[in-house]
Amino acid sequence: QVQLVESGGGVVQPGRSLKLSCAASRFTFSTYAMHWVRQAPGKGLEWVAVISYDGSDKFYADSVKGRFTISRDNSNNMLSLQMNSLRLEDTAVYYCALRFNTWLYNAFDIWGQGTMVTVSS
Amino acid sequence: EIVLTQSPGTLSLSPGERATLSCRASQSVSSTYLAWYQQKPGQAPRLLIYGASRRATGIADRFSGSESGTDFTLSISRLEPEDFAVYYCQQYANASYTFGQGTKLEIK
C-alpha cells in the first residue's frame, strides 16, 4: 500500500542546517501535494509546509518561513525539507503526510513514521 | 491565523462510556476543511473524521463528528479500550493549516 518513509533526522547545533527526506512509494507521487507536519516532544501537531504536485506552489507556517524550504523530486519520488538557522524550538518529530484519497477534502490520510530532529548545543 | 481550542485538555472515562470532545475555532471555519485525528504513543496520527462529520475509511461507526457554528464536536458513543489516545482537530484555510492542542482521553 501507499508508503512514506522519512529520513535525515539527527542532533544538530543551533544555527546549523539539516535536510530531511521522505521517500514515497506505491502511488503516483507526481500527482499529489505533499506536506510536512512536526510534533515537539510531548506537544501537539504543527503543520510546517506544503508543496503542490509539480513544485510550483509552496506555503509555510510563519514559524519556519524564511528558514525552511520544501522541495520535491518527482523523478525519484522524493520530498525534502531543507532546514536552515535551526532553533531549539525546532526540536520535533517531523512527519511527511498527504491527502491521498481525493474525496477527503484537505485531510491527511497517509502519514510517514516520522524522523526525530534534536536541536541542541 | 485561525486558532483551534480543544477542550477538555484531559478526559477521564471508563470503557463503555460516551466521550464528547470539543474544538472551538477563533473565527469562521469551513466545515468542509475540519478534520479529527487520533494519535497513540509512538505512532503517527490517524485520520478519523473529515468534512466535520464524515468518517474516514475503516473508522468504526461509534465515532461521529458534528458542528455548530464555530464549535466542532467529536463523539465516541461507547468507548473501547483502544480508543484511549490523544485526539486533535485540524482546519484548513488560506493555504494554511492549524491543529488544536489536543485532548487526551484516558482510562478512569
Reported as half-sphere exposure (CB side, CA atoms, 13 A), residue A44 has a value of 19
Q: Which residues of chain B are within 8 Å of residue A96 when distances are taken between CB atoms?
A: none
Q: Given this model, what pLDDT does residue B1 score?
A: 87
What is the spatial distance between Cα B38 and Cα B44, in angstroms, rounded to a whole number? Answer: 9
Q: Given this model, what pLDDT does residue A17 score?
A: 98
pLDDT for A40 beyond 90: yes
pLDDT for A62 beyond 90: yes
pLDDT for A103 beyond 90: no
Task: Tell which B residues from 34 to 63 touch A, by Cβ distance under 8 Å.
Answer: 35, 37, 39, 44-47, 50-51, 56-57
B92–A106: do the CB atoms touch at under 8 Å? yes
pLDDT for A109 beyond 90: yes
DSSP code per residue over A44-102? -EEEEEEE-TTSS-EEE-TTTTTTEEEEEETTTTEEEEEE-S--GGG-EEEEEEE--SG
A104 band by pLDDT with thresholds 50, 70 and 90: confident
Is A112 touching B (CB cutoff 8 A)? Answer: yes
pLDDT for B94 beyond 90: no
A102 band by pLDDT with thresholds 50, 70 and 90: confident
Q: How confident is the prediction for chain A on average, in pLDDT?
A: 97
- What pLDDT digit, counting tens, does each position of B43-65 carry? 999 999 999 999 999 999 999 99
Q: Given this model, what pLDDT does residue A116 score?
A: 98
Amino acid type, A107: A
Q: Out of A31-35, A61-65, A103-107, which region has the weakest mean confidence (pLDDT)?
A: A103-107
B32–A50: do the CB atoms touch at under 8 Å? no
Q: How confident is the prediction for chain B on average, in pLDDT?
A: 96
